[in-house]
Amino acid sequence: MSGKRQKNQSEQLELAFPKAGRGEAPRAVGRGTETLTAKRAHENPADTERLMEEVCERENCQQALRRVKTNKGGPGVDGMTVRDLPGHLKQHWTTIREQLLKGTYRPQPVKRVEIDKPGGGGVRKLGVPTVLDRFIQQAVLQVLQRRWDPTFSDHSYGFRPGRSAHQAVTRAQQYVAEGYRWVIDLDLSKFFDRVCHDKLMARIAARISDRRALKLIRAFLSAGVMEDGLVSASGEGVPQGGPLSPLLSNLVLDEWDQELERRGHRFVRYADDSNVYVRSERACQRVMASLTAFITNRLKLKVNHAKSAVARPWERKFLGFSFTSGSQPRRRIAPQAVGRFKERVRELTGRTRGVSLTSMVKNLSPYLRGWHGYFGFCQTPFVLRDLDSWVRRRLRAVQWAHWKHGPRQYVELRKRGVAEQWAAKTASSAHGPWRLAHSKAMKIALPTEFFDSLGLPRLVAPELLNPPNRRMRTRMSGGVAGVRG
């Protein structure tokens, strides 16, 4: 069945994008090795004057369509969904392609969407393009990224192929281990909203010469924003939400990376988060003042002084992580990230939600898997162990509340192997669900293996859990194993 589905999708893509004609640009050759000088040099304009033909190339468009479908996302101002996009392209691609090649394509305004920032720090304003504009941006992105990414700094890790936040954190950890134990933690205030269009377009024009591509990118930047049915002009900023925005932001901040490299600083940048590592507090203060002046006067951006600081690395967080203060620093989860984790788990495991424990675990599991996929990179497993136990305690409290009354609670405990006297004592207790969820009786009734059977992911390997107290387990359950946190 899966093979048949892939064949149908392939046929659908072939119908949407006919084979390239003679006028289209040939496929780009593979990228070879480059010297540092070659990496920093701009592309030859003669190599980029037919860039839009490469954007509209059949294989590039098929790849862009697959990416947009994989990323999913909601509809834009026209209401078209990702599911509708292949049919729309099948019917209108010839006209759209002609507009792109003539430089007459006009994107629609983006839809304003607001999401809460982590930690209650206000809202982040996103601009959601239509799915057709997302597809075209993705096609442009793929072509430009192949050309531009090799020229970016090795210290830049955000929104780049083959690079990740984990690599950025590891690089920062290396600097701290080498003795650079002071950090300048710089945060740019509303970076995506403050990018100057003219300055950005000048940097793009220095790299490509295809006027149609320049006109298209300018049109995406100035398409406007629809909010409450009204469209407002966008004179500055790069709307967050479009596929092309991260690449353009990296292009803007490439000047920042080059300046830091020129000064010989040890730094790590992920999107608009930059950490510069130095050896002393005095040097840190001096460099902070100098870099703030550069950002303000040269980049025409603004430093968020409330979130920026000169401090020890273990006093700050970077991409959700921090470090221990020993001679061999280890990665640890930042306290703010732990707090957000607990807040989200509380939302998903509220005792008044009116869902069964099985359904609750089903809803909670994807979040736990995703969270562990990122924060499992830490080097302090005891934190994961404690969070593991805390999550199970939350779920035991839910189940205890669902049993409601003492007689039923007693019966349920007995059914699950708890000795009679301990079941009676726990069921008659005046303590609330949270307190009793930590009791030995509930750990016997709902052991770790029970939650494993429900499909609840563990945040830490079983061998790192504390071994159970064998004597207490035997005395309470009459030989039934499984007392764990």
Query: What is the DSSP pairing of strand 273-278 with strand 266-270?
Result: antiparallel
What's the pLDDT at 112? 83
| CA–CA dist 7, 415 (Å, integer) | 52
Instruction: State the pLDDT at residue 233.
Output: 74
- Which residue from 449, 443, 339, 322 is spatially nearest to 377, judged by alpha carbons? 322
Note the pLDDT of residue 176: 97
Q: What is the pLDDT of residue 429?
A: 92
Return the pLDDT at 121: 61
Give pLDDT, residue 89: 95
How much is the pTM?
Answer: 0.82
Per-residue pLDDT reduced to its tens digit, 66-123: 999 999 888 999 999 999 999 999 999 999 999 999 999 999 998 888 777 765 566 7
Helices 381-403 and 406-415, axial angle in degrees (round to 10): 120
* CB environment 330-350: b (16+ within 10 A), e (fewer): ebbbbeebbebbeeebeebbe
Number of other CB atoms surrounding residue 294 within 10 Å: 15
Q: Using CA atoms of 187, 193, 198, 200 in order, give the dihedral in degrees to the nearest 10.
A: 50
Opening angle at CA 320, ends 317 and 324, nearest 5: 55
**How far is the C-alpha of 33 from the C-alpha of 150, rounded, in Å?**
10
- Within the chain, which residues score under 70 in pLDDT? 1-48, 118-122, 462-485
According to the model, what pLDDT value does residue 16 have? 59
The pLDDT value recorded for residue 485 is 64
Q: How far apart are CA 26 and CA 459, in angstroms?
A: 49
Per-residue model confidence (pLDDT) at position 229: 72
pLDDT number for residue 481: 38
Give me the residue label for tokens 């305004």.
Answer: 109
pLDDT for residue 250: 95
pLDDT of 122: 67
Are 126 and 240 in contact by the 8 Å Cβ rule? The answer is yes
The whole-number pLDDT of residue 351 equals: 81
